[in-house]
Amino acid sequence: MSFKPLFSRSLGAAPGRLHFAAHSHHLWPDASFDGQVECWEDAARLADRKWDRVMGEVWPEAQAEIAAELGSGNPSAIVFADNTHSLLLRLAAACPRRGGAALRVLTTDGEFHSARRQLARWEEGGEAAVTRVAAAPFDTLPARLSAAAQAGSFDLVFASQLLFGSGAVIGDLAALAGLARPEGPWAVIDGYHSFMAIDRPFRAEIAASAFFLGGGYKYAMSGEGMGFMHCPPGFGPRPPLTGWYAEFEDLTLPPGAVGYAPDAMRFMGATFDPSALYRFAHVRRMLAREGLTTATISAHAAALQARLLDAIGRTPLAAAELLNPLTGGPHARFLAFRDARAQGWCEALAAAGVVTDVRGDVLRIGFGLYHDAGDVDALVAVLASL
């Protein structure tokens, strides 16, 4: 079955392109255009009063959709920002430092650049002491990470649920969440590559004590500008990095008072661009109309991945190491092939009009709702010519 009509604008804008980088920049469905237009029209029609609509209707709708998608059951624990890096800064600033000025962090060596780079810079400047657990072998990472967290004395434990470089699914991080306390340590799950790729990745019992970071840029199909964070109740009641929206619910406080909302709004910043929330709302409504869930989209992607792997023997990729084979369980929306020729393959594919990406010696080929069997067969033909 093909869902290409839902993406007519993006596909029509570059008809000759084979875009197999849904894990990087997911193409936008037509519904997102409708959301962008509605945002503009609300601004024109309502002017200053648009914020009543944004905060009273659009924001709560997005919160409810994310809580339902996560499986957390708590919309009021969701807060938004322009990107997850901004939220990481607010979170780290609020995290209790029980051993002195430096933030003691436990993480893996497979984290995405937004966290990897920031932690490395804090470490360089003495603001953080970072312990990194090797991501590989992936099947033992949850146990090794939990053991390290229990053995050490950390303020913050930060780990991806799905590793961006290899596509390895770390799986249940309940053990880490079980260690978290408001006074420290805090457990943070980076779900940027699992949100709307893995069905209900953050159930209520984990959400009660762990943070979760995600965004709309990947499988939420809503573009940039919509980072979000699930904030467990009781953790960080007065974040030190704070904007005036953190007390948006009570603007009657006396002058000079620094008030905070009791829910996730306590982590809010200041004035923001709400257009991504409109896009997200329209995309979610589209999915509901079409009867599409994360589980059904994942099944669609898995079938296309299997089709590619069945034909891979006719291509040079047959000699590469597939880092995330299909197992029938939760899987990344991309296949990760490790080979010394990965950089050259990516460049050759780009020259042939096929968009993939490469991380070091790993070629990543990503799948989305806008792909069908014909796209995979076309990809195989190009791969065979490498």
Tell me the pLDDT tens digit for each residue of 262-307: 999 999 999 999 999 999 999 999 999 999 999 999 999 999 999 9
Per-residue pLDDT of the chain (386 residues; tens, 9 = 90+): 799 999 999 999 999 999 999 999 999 999 999 999 999 999 999 999 999 999 999 999 999 999 999 999 999 999 999 999 999 999 999 999 987 789 999 999 999 988 999 999 999 999 999 999 999 998 899 889 999 999 889 999 999 999 998 998 887 788 889 999 999 999 999 999 999 999 999 999 999 999 999 999 999 999 999 999 999 999 999 999 999 888 866 556 677 778 899 999 999 999 999 999 999 999 999 999 999 999 999 999 999 999 999 999 999 999 999 999 999 889 999 999 999 999 999 999 999 999 999 999 999 999 999 999 999 999 999 999 99
Can you give the residue range of the structural domain that contains 114? 32-285
Minimal CA–CA distance to 84: which of 195, 171, 6? 195
Say if residue 319 is in the same domain as residue 251: no
- pTM of the shown model: 0.95
Residue 231 CB partners (closer than 8 Å, separation 6+): 77, 78, 79, 211, 263, 264, 266, 267
Say if residue 261 is in the same domain as residue 317: no
CA distance 346 to 12: 23
The enclosing domain of 17 has a CATH number of 3.90.1150.10
Residue 292 in tokens? 């599409």
**Given 245, 265, 285, which residue is the final one in a domain?**
285
Largest CA distance in the chain: 72
Say if residue 268 is in the same domain as residue 302: no
CA distance 22 to 336: 13
Say if residue 136 is in the same domain as residue 218: yes
Query: What residues are paired with 159 via a beta bridge?
Result: 189
The enclosing domain of 170 has a CATH number of 3.40.640.10
Whole-Å CA distances, 354 to 72, 150, 161, 213, 343 = 37, 46, 28, 30, 14
Say if residue 171 is in the same domain as residue 245: yes
Structural domain total, the chain: 2
Say if residue 13 is in the same domain as residue 152: no
